[in-house]
């Protein structure tokens, strides 16, 4: 990451960014903390850590503390401060530190203005780190508040050391617009804009899209690692429903059956999409119910693993991207 950030500036005057696309459990948070520490030791002692939820503050502090445990290292875990601690409209008074904010908070114009003012208050251009954790939250840039805020941060802080971190940074080509520091479009590239880049790749088909991550990796802009499965054994655990859980499921089925009958009776009063929306809600409900019913068994497995001094990784196969697209 440091080598990428130290490369000569692009002809448009911006510093190249890096895409950290490691899978679950590899340590994206620890890597982001290391990038911030490296920049700090080089004198760039203002950084931004943007993530999906304010609840992840403790995780960021843990990663920073683990790296700064050696003698002589700055206590960066003590220098992280949530943007929510600063009143709206007030200037950020910290002379140095790491601003921690969620994408939802950054999407508010007043909050974005506070962050930019703090970064641009230095006598020299801002060269600290902008760490975009769970960066896929900035997809649909230009159409959503979070995506627009991320684009503006990168545009107004051209020398910032940008790190994109997500195992699913972009599942669709149109969602890549916020990745403006990868050097794929703009001055010095064959494509004048993201729209031109997108149109060419769409016309070239799936083969061109498959070559894109190879190009990024060869140019030093991407790393995508996963935990090795060497020596891994697979055991399928079955959860047995308790009497209470079975009763809850049966009652839920009766409830939805009654709702389905009511839907058919009132269908002539509803919109054309009422049936599809009803059954979509039905599927989401029972998926959540079944998943929740399995949690006692999952908790027992996790506790057994932790008691054996193992690192427990829980994989969620649904990213919720469809709901995000629907909401935008």
Q: Tell me the longest C-alpha to C-alpha distance in the chain.
A: 73
* pLDDT one-digit tens code per residue, 25-37: 889 999 999 999 9
Provide the b/e sequence for 110-136 (b: ≥16 CB within 10 Å): ebbebbbebbeeeeeebbbbbbbbbbb
Check residue 112 and give its pLDDT.
96
Average pLDDT over residues 278-297: 94
Check residue 20 and give its pLDDT.
95
Contacts of 179 (CB under 8 A, 6+ apart): 17, 19, 135, 164, 169, 170
Contact status, residue 59 vs residue 51, Cβ threshold 8 Å? no
Whether pLDDT at 151 is above 80: yes
Range name among 81-90, 123-132, 139-148, 253-262 with the lowest pLDDT average: 139-148
Range name among 64-73, 141-150, 212-221, 239-248 with the lowest pLDDT average: 141-150
Structure tokens that stand for 252 in this block: 């839920």
Give the C-alpha separation, 137 to 224, whole Å: 18
Check residue 323 and give its pLDDT.
47
Give the C-alpha separation, 322 to 43, whole Å: 42
Whether pLDDT at 326 is above 50: no
Check residue 67 and give its pLDDT.
92
In the chain, at which residue ranges do the beta strands (DSSP E only) sit? 18-20, 46-51, 80-82, 97-102, 129-133, 161-165, 222-223
Average pLDDT over residues 224-241: 88
CA dihedral for 203, 205, 207, 211, sign (positive or negative): positive
> What share of the chain in percent tops pLDDT 70?
96
User: Which residue would you say has higher pLDDT here, 192 or 323?
Assistant: 192
Average pLDDT over residues 1-29: 85
Q: 2-223 belongs to which homologous superfamily? A: Tandem AAA-ATPase domain (3.40.50.10810)
Average pLDDT, the chain: 90
Give the C-alpha separation, 62 to 29, whole Å: 9
3-state SS class at 20 = strand
Q: Residue 250: left if φ>0, alpha if ψ -120 to 50, beta else—which one?
A: alpha
Q: Residue 186: left if φ>0, alpha if ψ -120 to 50, beta else—which one?
A: left
When pLDDT is cut at 50, 70 and 90, the band that residue 155 belongs to is very high
Whether pLDDT at 8 is above 80: no
Check residue 10 and give its pLDDT.
74
Check residue 317 and give its pLDDT.
65
For 65, counting Cβ atoms within 10 Å of its Cβ (0-12 exposed, 13-18 middle, 19+ buried), the class is middle
When pLDDT is cut at 50, 70 and 90, the band that residue 260 belongs to is very high
Give the C-alpha separation, 227 to 313, whole Å: 10
When pLDDT is cut at 50, 70 and 90, the band that residue 232 belongs to is confident
> Which residue in 178, 172, 181 sits closest to 143, CA to CA?
178
Check residue 168 and give its pLDDT.
85
Planar angle of CA 50, 325, 177, nearest 5 degrees: 55
> Which residue in 159, 197, 196 sits closest to 181, CA to CA?
159
Check residue 181 and give its pLDDT.
92
- Tell me the domain boundaries of the chain: 2-223, 243-312
């Amino acid at each position: 990451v440091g080598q990428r950030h130290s490369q000569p500036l692009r002809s448009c005057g911006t510093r190249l960014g890096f895409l950290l696309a490691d899978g679950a459990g590899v340590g994206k948070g620890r890597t982001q903390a290391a990038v911030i520490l490296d920049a700090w030791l080089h004198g760039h002692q203002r950084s931004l850590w943007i993530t999906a939820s304010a609840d992840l503050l403790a995780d960021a502090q843990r990663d920073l503390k683990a790296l700064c445990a050696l003698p002589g290292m700055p206590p960066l875990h003590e220098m992280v401060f949530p943007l929510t601690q600063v009143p709206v409209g007030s200037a950020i008074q910290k002379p140095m530190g790491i601003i921690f904010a969620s994408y939802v908070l950054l999407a508010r114009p007043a909050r974005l203005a506070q962050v930019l003012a703090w970064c641009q208050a230095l006598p020299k251009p801002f060269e600290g780190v902008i760490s975009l954790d769970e960066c896929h939250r900035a997809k649909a840039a230009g159409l959503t508040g979070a995506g627009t805020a991320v684009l503006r941060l990168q545009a107004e802080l051209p020398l910032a050391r940008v790190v994109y971190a997500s195992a699913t940074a972009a599942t669709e080509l149109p969602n890549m617009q916020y990745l403006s520091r990868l050097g794929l479009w703009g001055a010095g590239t064959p494509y004048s804009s993201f729209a031109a880049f997108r149109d060419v790749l769409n016309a070239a088909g799936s083969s061109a899209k498959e070559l894109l991550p190879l190009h990024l990796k060869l140019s030093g802009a991407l790393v995508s690692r996963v935990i090795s499965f060497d020596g891994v054994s697979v055991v399928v655990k079955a959860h047995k429903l308790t009497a209470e859980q079975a009763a809850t499921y049966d009652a839920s089925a009766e409830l939805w059956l009654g709702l389905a009958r009511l839907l058919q009776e009132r269908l002539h009063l509803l919109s054309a999409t009422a049936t599809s929306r009803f059954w979509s809600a039905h599927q989401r409900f029972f998926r959540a119910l079944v998943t929740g019913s399995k949690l006692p068994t999952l908790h027992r497995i996790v506790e057994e693993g932790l008691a054996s001094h193992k690192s427990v990784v829980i994989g969620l196969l649904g990213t919720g991207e469809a709901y995000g697209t629907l909401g935008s």
